[in-house]
Structure 1
């Protein structure tokens, strides 16, 4: 009987140990929240970005990846001794890629509002907002004129979040709210007349209007005001703070202003920069 009891106790202990080990390897929310250190010098810094998001990240005329955020990331990496790598991602898969370690951060006009509990963010570095763009001379000059119209936005975007949240009442007046994989195609549909309006980031609107000043107009009313920040895996506060400190140093030595001026032709303004 004593031997049998000893075997039972040993079995229970083994099961308890297995449960602890499984919990530690499970990859659930608790694991994702564990504190993490900043990359060591020489480590790879993999930047996840949407390659169809000018002027923050896109494919240049030479076929290479370029953009304001990618230039920022490259400079931050160089100053910290990291090796930068650009990784174009499917925006729907960004969280899976970040939590698995396939990318180090999401750095591409990434709105932090409403996501604060899900990521470790850098300080907000750029002022942004959600706006609506329409074709000129189409009789649409206010939100009221969007009643019965077809509005399109990017899937899993800040604009979609607003239209399904705070501005759900406005969206209910639309004839249809459509989503699409990336904004370049959305504006092609606007230009062709397939849709009546595009709901998007202010930066995207400024870029599209600077490229075709005679084609589009932005409504005076805005859907929201928000900020861009660099998103890291939840718990990776140390890297987020390191990036913020480096961006501040880049502002102080004039690098930020130089990069803003480089992309000013795309509608990007130094006046919207925040980390100082």
Structure 2
């Protein structure tokens, strides 16, 4: 509390104690991914809306239970990603789906990650669970593979992949002995392919996306800087994305406005429950593919017996 300047009177020994004392309309759960389910189990029956930090759940099994609770008790269950609040992310969607500037999507590339959570100085309280295969679900695959899965599902308008392939490696087993620090996920769709390179081995922090269409591409270098190439037009155009509208510009403003009925969550939108259930499925399918060395066929793996 001294470091960050908050009063210990607002710190409670449990979620239940906090709820009994404050009676919140919504909570944000930026805790170990495994504990997201418990948070929803406590909050949903009380009608308390929940926003969790990415990804939604540690597994598809957990996410199914969370969905059932959210629907039974009629609460919003949102997932937060840093990239949701990038102006470039929203501009890229507009260029592809509203302006139709680059034609139908044929390939999307995601490069996400950094030099490693320990290397960049994350605190031990965080890295202890982030590098735990149970509490986090995996290592870099979960931590940074979820970004590409989330944005791909949004850009593909909720379509699920036909197949999921994945290769993982431990480049630094002495630093991360329990989990992979390198993951490449390949998603195939009927007429498109998505490649997600999630890593704790990049020489710099990055979350960039390139969307290729039949007649051009859009590159989002970061939250603001973009490049666009359109066939038939001369050269590459650079542009800067503007900020998002006030009230939908950060997770806390967005959550408040959703709960108050001022913003409607778009179907398969970046924060939506529908999108993020698919993200947990993609990550589960990727882990199976990496473990077995075989491509996971979506309809076979997720068929309802």
TM-score, normalised via structure 1 length: 0.29
Greater helix content: 1
Bigger radius of gyration, 1 or 2? 1
